Structure 1
Amino acid sequence: MKLSTKGRYGLRALIDLAVYSEESAVSIGSIAARQKISESYLEQLMAKLRKAGLVVSIRGAGGGYRLARPAGEISVGDILRALEGNLEAVACDGLKSDRGCEDADVCVTKYVWQKINESITRAVDDIKLSQLVEEGKKVKNIEQPCQNGCK
């Protein structure tokens, strides 16, 4: 499975939104500037995320975007599925009970594909947006461990 820029940029945008939208809505322009993503492309991504119920848009002065739910309730899987669609590494008809392939009864590779698909799903669903925010804070502290003349 290879993620497109939709998934990669969208995940970065939502991490940014989780960090900066605690006080007020965040504008597309500010996310785009911090993440170095085109505003027009970011608008397209936000539209998909809004449709999936992951973000809400706020109109008017001070408007922008906010998370629709707490960051601890949004998984990386939620975000990637909203932007990329199905995350299966291999689409195997033998795994679907309603329509199998003609070799499903004798095909043993379908179990490999099933395990890979389950592992991907479990991995992305186990990582919450709030965890990525915390990891980001740790990385910033490592890069800038000492400020204001400390030793």
Structure 2
Amino acid sequence: MKLSTRGQYGVRALVQLSYNYEKGPLSLREISEIEGISYQYLEQIFLDLKKHYLVKSLRGAKGGYVLAKPPNNITVGDIIKVVEGPIAPVSCVDNSENNDCDRSSICAPRNVWKELRDRITEVLDEFTLEDLVSDSSNEKSGGDYNE
């Protein structure tokens, strides 16, 4: 199972906004240049992030994007769910109303898929943007995560 580039880029872009939290907005151009991500692709991703209140846009000469909530209140799972959709290894366990699998009551591996979904969700929801920024700062300064 792999995350798409949408998920990866969405997280990377919001990490950049976290570095800049309370310092002012960043433009999509700046994020695009810092992260090496297509500007047009970021525009598409940020439409969803804005629609789901993870980012806010600020207009004007010094405009751009800021996080809509503090970095410690946004998890990696929040971002992935917005840009990727439901977290599920197979569609029959995606918690949507459209998973009309007529085999769900007799599907032997269904419990495995549910457990996998739950564990993936647990890990993604465990890490906040603040955690990622902190981990990155430790890495840059030579800090050891395992200390």
TM bucket, shorter chain: 0.7 to 0.9
Secondary structure of the structure 1 residue equivalent to 2:142: helix
Contact 1:71 1:129 in 2 (8 A): yes
Deviations 1:37-84 (A, max 9, x none): 111211111111001110000000210000000010001011001101
**Pairing 1:21-60 to 2, within 5 Å after superposition:** 21-60=21-60
Change (3 A) 1:26 1:105: closer
* 2:18 maps to 1:18: yes
Per mean C-alpha deviation after superposition, the further-off stretch among 7-16 and 103-112 is 103-112
Secondary structure of the structure 2 residue equivalent to 1:65: strand
**Pairing 1:1-150 to 2, within 5 Å after superposition:** 1-92=1-92, 101-142=101-142
State the number of aligned residues: 142
Q: Which amino acid aligns with 2:26?
A: V
Alpha-carbon distance between aligned partners in 2 of 1:59 and 1:84, rounded to the nearest angstrom = 27
Change (3 A) 1:113 1:142: same
Alpha-carbon distance between aligned partners in 2 of 1:72 and 1:100, rounded to the nearest angstrom = 36
Per mean C-alpha deviation after superposition, the further-off stretch among 14-23 and 59-68 is 14-23
TM-score (norm. length: structure 2): 0.87
Instruction: Give the RMSD, CA atoms, in angstroms.
Output: 2.2
Give the CA deviation at 1:125.
1.0
In terms of Rg, which structure is larger? 1
Runs ≥4 in structure 1, deviation > 3 angstroms? 95-106
Change (3 A) 1:83 1:103: closer
Alpha-carbon distance between aligned partners in 1 of 2:133 and 2:16, rounded to the nearest angstrom = 8
**Structure 1: gaps (5+ residues):** 144-151
Alpha-carbon distance between aligned partners in 1 of 2:29 and 2:98, rounded to the nearest angstrom = 46
